[in-house]
Amino acid sequence: AERALRALLPYPRGAVGMAQSPRIFCVSLGKYDAVLAFNRFVLGGPLSAIIKWMLEWTKVAASDGRPIGILFWKLADWASMLLTRTLFKLNSSPDGPSAKAV
């Protein structure tokens, strides 16, 4: 069967509907410690370690095609865009990551 070709959307606006993607990361600092960052909000400690475990578990579940993982990541992607537009806004500095490389 012939597959219809679609034009690729420009990144990041085509993917997230904004000029910048949310900056989200979670780094393990041991079994019971981690650092979670969401744009300018940073949280460290055991709660971050629990969140990191949940992120890993649900991402593996989604990759496996399990409904719980797929649903979690659909909701998480939507929530991260909403939170970036409202509570945890990105820095709009012209020297930030949205500035063009020289």
* pLDDT score of 42: 96
Total domains, the chain: 1
- The pLDDT value recorded for residue 7 is 84
> Could you tell me if residue 47 is inside a domain?
yes
- Residue 80 domain-assigned (yes or no): yes
Q: Are 17 and 10 in contact (CB under 8 A)?
A: no
At residue 102, the pLDDT reads: 37
Could you tell me the residue range of the domain that residue 43 belongs to?
19-85
Question: 7 lies in a domain?
Answer: no
Half-sphere exposure of 9 (CA within 13 A, CB side): 9
- E strand intervals along 7-69: 24-28, 34-38, 41-45
In a domain, 70, yes or no: yes
- Residue 93 has a pLDDT of 57
pLDDT of 99 reads 46
User: Is residue 51 domain-resident?
Assistant: yes
Domain assignment present for residue 14? The answer is: no
Give me the pLDDT at residue 91, please.
78
Domain assignment of residue 57, yes or no: yes
Residue 62 lies in a domain: yes
What's the CA angle centered on 25, arms 49 and 16, to 5 degrees?
135
Is the CB of residue 62 less than 8 Å from the CB of residue 72? Answer: yes
Q: Which residues in the chain show pLDDT less than 50?
A: 94, 98-102
